[in-house]
Amino acid sequence: MAYFVALCSAFLVLSALTALRPGRRGLSAVVAYPVGWAAGELPAQAIGIELALLGLLWWWGWPTTHWLSVLIGVLAAVVFAENLALVFIAFYSRRIVRRAMATAPLRPLDIPRPRDDAFGSWWRTALQFPYHPRDMQLVRNVPYGPERRHRLDVWRMSTTPKGAPVVFYIHGGSWTFGDKREQGRPMLHEFVRRGWVAVVINYRLAPRYPWPAQIEDSTRALGWIKKNIASYGGDPDRVVVSGGSAGGHLAALLALTANDPTWRPRDVRGVEDWSVRGAMPFYGVLETTGDEIHWRGLGWGLLHLLEHRVVQMPFAENEALYRSLSPYERIHAAAPPFLVVHGVNDTLVDVNVARAFVQRFREVAPAPIYYVELPFTQHAFDISASPRTSATTRAAVAFADSAATPRPRFTPSLARSYQVPPTDLVVKSSSGEWVGALEAARELGPFTILTSDNPFSNQLDERQNVERRSELLGDLQRRGVRLRDAIGRDPSGRWPGEEGFALFDQSVDFARHVARAWDQFAIYEVTTEQVLVRSVATGEVLG
């Protein structure tokens, strides 16, 4: 019995060590994920097992051999130390997540506290089993297409109000396995209890159905949501898409290709808007060319999987195709907001993939992106309802609530109010004087004007507008945009003056994308001859 306890304790020591410092080569790389995930997410259970082993040995009879007794004692001490460290890391993740969201360079967010959870609780977190609320309504296996795997589930509460926001979740599994019942459940249960409608899907799997079947099915499911979710109480205009691993890849790609009809099913008609309000990829495959600058030794495994089972075509002869399915390559100025969550100890998708995606997004897209990097955290950490998962769920709730805020309608009367006149549009000249927009254009050249004040014409107090204006200015300066201060004033006094910025040497589309990121209806395009009001949504001239 003493030897058995010693062997089990040694295994627990090595398991916890794998969670803290996973190997990346040879046999250690093979066991890094399955062993490291279990040890990293179940440290309290490991402590309980070690205590049970010691109790069993005490009941059986403590060994009289000195070296064996000392060995068991040392192993037990190391097991306790390692797993207590893992418990501490899981709880410390709460602070990491809160700080990451609150210090985002653009539009920082405060996340709820544990006491604010609608479904999570300390005892549910302790159990870690992600069972759903008893009063949750599940509509299972709704067909969204003709294939056997074209099935989705809709989750909601009986009290969910009409017009609720929608979280659309796509499961992972290397594009080759997985099911809608298995992943993302702790987060989705919290969303549902908070009044959201959740949609989870199955999609066709490789190798039987090679790429692009997976993204085509995800797009088809989004089309189903746009056409049908209102009958389940959801708002088709307030959809946030999420997924883990390969599902994170599909979620990110879906969000970044709203204007690309390549993967839209031809038999889905009547959908005009294929966009989503935001994307939340968790430990997602955000780069698919296997570039080792991003993957740091793991890219060859990704390419082997894609070449032999998913895409089923060699990368060398189809590089353009591989780049087309890479979210990293698809980032553009009109991208919606993102929340990216990744673990530093991920041995399936290197954390540098997420870092590179976030860096490029901030360089290209004006929309906010939030990045949460979790120390000592393995792939697929959020399968269990741990303190770490509850923390990232709160971040997801804060992000999704922000991204899916209801938007008021842009009425004809509101469009008329943007015209010059009635709006008095002035720009600060090179001499520091406030001059009319046309006079400024003749002196400084053509420009566009935008503001961050009063999002979607919902009037904020001056403090909030000043904060938003400061963040917008910082973002424009970081991008090297040449600008001057501008003000749009209502001479009648019925609406407060809105301060903004005149952008020089930038396209109208760039100004539109920035204005969209700051929740504006319209921008001004100023030439030496005229002032045009353009819709942020369509680019069309208003009035």
Residues involved in catalysis: 245, 346, 379
Task: List strand residue ranges (DSSP E) for 385-529, in order.
Answer: 424-428, 434-436, 447-451, 482-489, 498-504, 522-526
DSSP structural state of residue 507:
-
- Rounded to whole angstroms, the Cα distance separating 113 from 10 reads 38
State whether the Cα torsion 287-398-406-478 is positive or negative.
negative
DSSP structural state of residue 21:
S
| Residue 514: closest CA among 449, 426, 425 | 449
DSSP for 111-155 reads PPPGGG-SS--HHHHHH---PPPTTEEEEEEEE-SSSTT-EEEEE
Residue 141: is it exposed, middle or buried by C-beta count within 10 angstroms (0-12/13-18/19+)? exposed
CB 221 within 8 A of CB 142: no
CB 232 within 8 A of CB 158: no
- Rounded to whole angstroms, the Cα distance separating 175 from 312 reads 12
CB 22 within 8 A of CB 28: yes
DSSP for 338-354 reads EEEEEETT-SSS-HHHH
DSSP for 238-294 reads EEEEEEETHHHHHHHHHHHTTT-GGG--TT--S------SEEEEES-----S--HHH
Angle between helices 387-403 and 66-102 (to 10 degrees): 10
Q: Which strands sit side by side in the sheet containing 151-157, from one edge to the other?
A: 136-143, 151-157, 197-201, 164-170, 234-244, 278-282, 338-343, 369-374
| Residue 239: closest CA among 197, 190, 183 | 197
Which residues, 6 or more positions from 196, have their beta carbon under 8 angstroms from its beta carbon? 156, 160, 164, 165, 166, 167, 400
Output the six-digit token pair for 116. 């604010």
CB count within 10 Å of CB 494 equals: 8
Radius of gyration of the chain (CA): 27
- Rounded to whole angstroms, the Cα distance separating 457 from 357 reads 32
The CA-based angle 540-446-417, given to 5 degrees, is 45
CB count within 10 Å of CB 293 equals: 9
